Amino acid sequence: MEDIQLILAKNLKAYRERKKLSLEKVSELTGVSKTMIGQIERGESSPTITTIWKIANGLKISFTSLINQSQPDTKVMLKKDVQVLTEDNGRYRVYPYFPFQDERRFEVYSVEIEPGGFLSSDSHGEGTEEFITVFDGELKIQVNNMEYAIKSGDSIRFKADRPHTYQNSGEMITRLSMTIHYPA
């Protein structure tokens, strides 16, 4: 994990350069001295929380955008590096490829269900939706007292703010992609 002072230095400098702002202009917008802004950008100063807030407010950006490590534009996730979660004696396997983050409001999983594999899920938060595409096999989903058979190549979207179940109703392994979207 990179030091917060270095993360702040990189983020502030990158933001300033992206917006084509001079040190003087940032100072003017934030009320923080030009000297201090320069020291922060060079990683020579460890500013107080109050100073970071002044910078964030003056630039009209979030506090966390200054102190969180930026995500790369591209990220490859290898299956071997994803921690598998299992249910139903290992017959239902979930690979959380892209976990939830506040700025995204969704998470993405790959799921494998052995023949006969089953999972009963409690309701998620109000307004939550699931988007599923089956790539291999077939899937039986029960939601709202309705049953849906989703076959290879087919997709389903449903409100997941109520209990629902997943079952491999076929003779071969079911592989699917699941995206869960949470309301703001």
Dihedrals phi, psi of 159, to nearest 5 degrees: -75, 120
pTM: 0.68
Residue carrying structure tokens 């100073």: 51
Over residues 34-71, the pLDDT tens digits come to 999 999 999 999 888 889 989 998 998 888 788 877 67
- Quote the CA–CA distance of 109 and 120 in Å, as a whole number: 17
Over residues 122-176, the pLDDT tens digits come to 888 899 999 999 999 999 999 999 999 999 999 999 999 999 999 999 999 999 9
